[in-house]
Amino acid sequence: MKQIPRETIDEIRSRNDIADVIGSYLPLKNAGGRFKALCPFHKEKTPSFTISPDRQIYHCFGCDAGGDVIRFVQEYEKVDFMVALQMLADRAGMELNFEDGDGQRSNKRELFQIHAGVSLLYHRILLEHAEGEAGRAYLASRGLRPETVEAFRIGFAPDRFDALEKWAQQKKFSFELMEQAGLMIKSDKGKGYYDRFRKRLMFPILDEAGRTIGFSGRLIDPADHGGKYVNSPETPLFRKSRVLFGIDKARRAMADKRTAIVVEGQLDAIRCHEAGITNVVASQGTALTPDHARMVRRYADEVILVLDADAAGQKAALRSSEAFIAEELSVRVASLPAGEDPDSLILKQGPEALLACVKSAVSALDFLIDCSAHTENLETEAGLMRTARSVQGLIAQAPGAVQRDRLVQHAASRLGLSEAALRRDMARKSARPAPAQTPEEAPVAPVKHPDDEVALLQMIFFHPEEVFPVVADHLPMGHLSDPDCRVLMELLLDDPAEMMNNLPEDRPEVQRLAVRIQMADTKLRGTDVPPVRAAQDIVMGLWRQALTANRKGLSAAGRVEESGAITAQLQCLKKGWEHAVDFMVV
C-alpha cells in the first residue's frame, strides 16, 4: 500500500500558502489580518468565509466548513486526500514520492514521468514533425480547433517500431520500465523491444489530478489493419475500470451542475468540451463499472448517458444504469438521432442540438420499458412478465428506500400493475446489500458539539499556560461527552503547536472543529472572567455531569453508601473550586 511520509505532507502544506491557493479559486477581500470571500460551499450574499494566513486555515461561519489548505482542495475540487496532495505538490513544483507498505520506494514516480514525457513527445510529433502530417490532416478534416488539440494534448505515434527507443535512452529509462508503463512490448522473436502504438492518433488519458496515466490510440487510415482503438494495457497507473476520459477537465463542472454527462468515445467528449459542454466524460469504450459510478458520485447526483442508438448502445446504457443506480445516482438516458453521435451531431447542428437531446433524456426505468416495448408484446402475459422481471432487476440495484420506492411507483404506473404485486415479487428475491460507504463518500451531516466543551478547547488553545494545568491535572478525558472534542483535547494536551499537523485525516469533523476553535470570535473564549476561572467553572460542570450520571446508576443498583459519597462530592462542587479540587484529580 502506498504511503506518504508525514514530513512530505507538512512540507506540501508549508509551500502552499492558503491565501494564495484559495485566492486562485475565489476573489478575496482583505479584512485586517484575514481575508474574506463568499463561501463556495453554500449560497450566501454576505461573505462569511474567512481565511487566516497566520494560522493557515479557513472557516465559514455560515456552513461550518473549515480546515487547512489540503482540506480546501479536497472539498472544492471534490477529490480524495491523495489527489489533493498531488495537486498541491504539483503546484509547489514538488515530487510526491510514494513508499510501499514495506518501506520500499514505489516506481510510480518514474511511471508518471514516463507518461508525461511520452505525451509531450507524441504531441510535438503531431504538431511539428513530418511524421505527424497524417494526424494533422485527420484532425483538420474533423474540424478540431488548435486550442482544443493543445488543451487535450492530442498527439501522434509515427509509423515506426522504435520511436520511443531513442527517447527512453536519452531520458535514462530502461526498456523494462517502458514495458511496465505499457508503452513498449518485448519481442517474442528474441531480444529487443518495440513500440506498442504505431501510426495512431494518440489521446492521453489523465487521472483526476491531471496526470497522464495511459493512452488511447486511434487508427486514422481506413486501409490500416487492427482495432480502431488500442488502449494502454493494465499497469500500476492505468486501470480501465477506474478511468473516465476527461475527468480532470470535467469534474469541476460536474460538481457545479451536480450532473455528469457520459458519452462513449474520446472525440465525443472532446467535441463537447470544445462546444462549451464541460461536464462530460467518456467511458473509454468499455463497460461502466461500480468504480466508475463511485468516481462520478463524488461530483454529481445525476448521470445522463449519451450512448449510440443501436442495439449495442442500448444494452450498454442498461448495464451502465444498474451500476449508477447502485450508487444512489439518478440516471437518465438521452436518445440521439439515428446514425449520429455527439461529435457528428454538434458538427452538423451545433451544441444546442445535443443539449436538446440531453434535456429530453428519459429515466433509466422509462428507457428500459421503452426498449422492451420494441421487442416484447406488453399486451401478452408472457411479454409483460419478462419486462416486469427486467424492471425488478433494475429497481433491485437501488440501495436507498426512497429511490427504490419511487422507482416501484413509476414502474407500476407504466406497466399497469399494482405496486403491491411488484413489491411481493421483489421480496421473494434476495435483496441486494447496500454498498458500504467509505469515509470520503459518507454524507457529511452538521454536527452540534457541546458549547462548554468547545469553549474549553478554545481556552486551552488561546491561553495554554494558564489553562493547561487546570485541564491536564483535573479533567479525565472520559468526562468529555463528545468524541470529537475528546480527540482534539488529547492533541492539545500533547502539543498545542502541532495540533493542526497531527489531525486524523479520516476524521473531517475533528478538522472542522479544530478550525472553529481557532476562528471563533474572542467573546466565545471566556474573556468576561480570567481564563483560569472560566476553565475551572467548565471543568467543575463536566465533573458534575459525570458524577450525577454515576450516582443515578448506583442508586438504581441499591448501592446507597457509594451513592452518598458522590452526593458529598457534588456538595463540594457547589461550594466552588477550592472545596472540590482535592478529589478532582486525574
Structural domain includes residue 51: yes
Instruction: Please indicate, yes or no, whether residues 455 and 563 belong to a single structural domain of this protein.
Output: yes
Domain hosting residue 188, numbered range: 108-238
Q: Is 103 left (phi over 0), alpha (psi -120 to 50) or beta?
A: left
Instruction: Please indicate, yes or no, whether residues 69 and 151 belong to a single structural domain of this protein.
Output: no
Q: How far apart are CA 336 and CA 309, in angstroms?
A: 6
Residues 178/114, Cβ–Cβ less than 8 Å: yes
Grid coordinates in use for 309?
442508438
How many beta carbons lie within 10 A of that of residue 254, not counting itself?
24
Residues 313/321, Cβ–Cβ less than 8 Å: no
DSSP structure string for 138-184:
HHHHHT--HHHHHHTT-EEE-S-S-TTHHHHHHTT--HHHHHHTTSE
Examine the fold and report which residue of 31, 62, 91 is the final residue of a domain before the chain moves on: 91
- What percentage of the chain's residues is helix, strand, coil (to nearest 5)? 55, 10, 35
Instruction: Please indicate, yes or no, whether residues 478 and 511 belong to a single structural domain of this protein.
Output: yes
Structural domain includes residue 397: no
Instruction: Please indicate, yes or no, whether residues 455 and 575 belong to a single structural domain of this protein.
Output: yes
Residues 48/33, Cβ–Cβ less than 8 Å: no
Note down pLDDT in tens along the chain; length 586 residues: 456 777 788 888 888 999 999 999 999 998 887 899 999 998 888 999 999 887 889 999 888 888 899 999 988 888 888 888 888 988 888 877 665 544 444 578 899 999 999 999 999 999 999 999 999 999 999 999 999 999 999 999 999 999 999 999 999 999 999 999 999 999 877 678 999 999 999 999 998 888 899 999 999 988 888 788 899 998 988 988 888 999 999 988 998 899 999 998 899 999 999 999 999 999 876 678 888 998 898 889 999 999 776 666 777 788 889 889 998 899 999 989 988 999 999 999 999 999 999 999 999 999 999 888 888 888 898 989 999 989 898 998 888 888 889 999 999 999 998 989 888 888 876 444 444 443 333 334 457 889 899 999 988 888 887 888 899 889 999 899 999 999 999 888 887 767 777 788 778 888 888 888 887 654 444 456 788 889 999 999 999 999 998 888 888 888 888 888 889 999 999 999 998 888 888 7
Grid coordinates in use for 458?
478554545
Structural domain includes residue 69: yes
Instruction: Please indicate, yes or no, whether residues 48 and 128 belong to a single structural domain of this protein.
Output: no
Rounded alpha-carbon distances, angstroms, from residue 422 to 118, 429, 480, 539, 579 = 55, 11, 50, 58, 70
Instruction: Please indicate, yes or no, whether residues 455 and 565 belong to a single structural domain of this protein.
Output: yes
Examine the fold and report which residue of 238, 264, 292 is the final residue of a domain before the chain moves on: 238
How many beta carbons lie within 10 A of that of residue 385, not counting itself?
12
Displacement of CA 212 from its chain's centroid (Å): 18
Which of 272, 267, 265, 333 lies closest to 304, judged by CA?
333
Longest CA span, the chain: 97
Q: Look-up: residue for cell 472560566?
A: 534
Task: Give the CATH number for residue 146.
Answer: 3.90.980.10
How many beta carbons lie within 10 A of that of residue 81, not counting itself?
18
Q: Look-up: residue for cell 482503438?
A: 229
Instruction: Please indicate, yes or no, whether residues 13 and 129 belong to a single structural domain of this protein.
Output: no
Q: Based on the structure, what is the number of domains in the chain?
A: 3
Residue 442: its pLDDT value, please? Answer: 39
**Where do runs of H (alpha helix) occur along 188-302?**
247-257, 266-274, 290-297
Residue 434: its pLDDT value, please? Answer: 44
Q: How far apart are CA 117 and CA 115, in angstroms?
A: 5
Q: How far apart are CA 397 and CA 262, in angstroms?
A: 20
Structural domain includes residue 332: no
Instruction: Please indicate, yes or no, whether residues 46 and 123 belong to a single structural domain of this protein.
Output: no
Q: How far apart are CA 313 and CA 310, in angstroms?
A: 5
Grid coordinates in use for 498?
502541532
Residues 6+ apart with CB under 8 A from 569: 547, 580, 583
What does the angle CA 61 – CA 62 – CA 65 come to, to the nearest 5 degrees?
A: 70
Instruction: Please indicate, yes or no, whether residues 230 and 117 belong to a single structural domain of this protein.
Output: yes
Which of 121, 122, 98 lies closest to 110, judged by CA?
98
Structural domain includes residue 207: yes
Q: How far apart are CA 125 and CA 505, in angstroms?
A: 43
Instruction: Please indicate, yes or no, whether residues 124 and 167 belong to a single structural domain of this protein.
Output: yes
Residues 6+ apart with CB under 8 A from 190: none
Residues 534/458, Cβ–Cβ less than 8 Å: no
Structural domain includes residue 193: yes
Structural domain includes residue 305: no
Residues 132/126, Cβ–Cβ less than 8 Å: yes
Instruction: Please indicate, yes or no, whether residues 71 and 45 belong to a single structural domain of this protein.
Output: yes
Task: Give the CATH number for residue 51.
Answer: 3.90.580.10
Structural domain includes residue 367: no
Residues 305/371, Cβ–Cβ less than 8 Å: no
Residue 291: its pLDDT value, please? Answer: 85
Can you give the three-state secondary structure of 556-584, one letter per residue?
HCCCHHHHHHHHHHHHHHHHCHHHHCCCC
Instruction: Please indicate, yes or no, whether residues 59 and 115 belong to a single structural domain of this protein.
Output: no
Please give the radius of gyration of the chain, using alpha carbons only, rounded to the nearest integer: 30
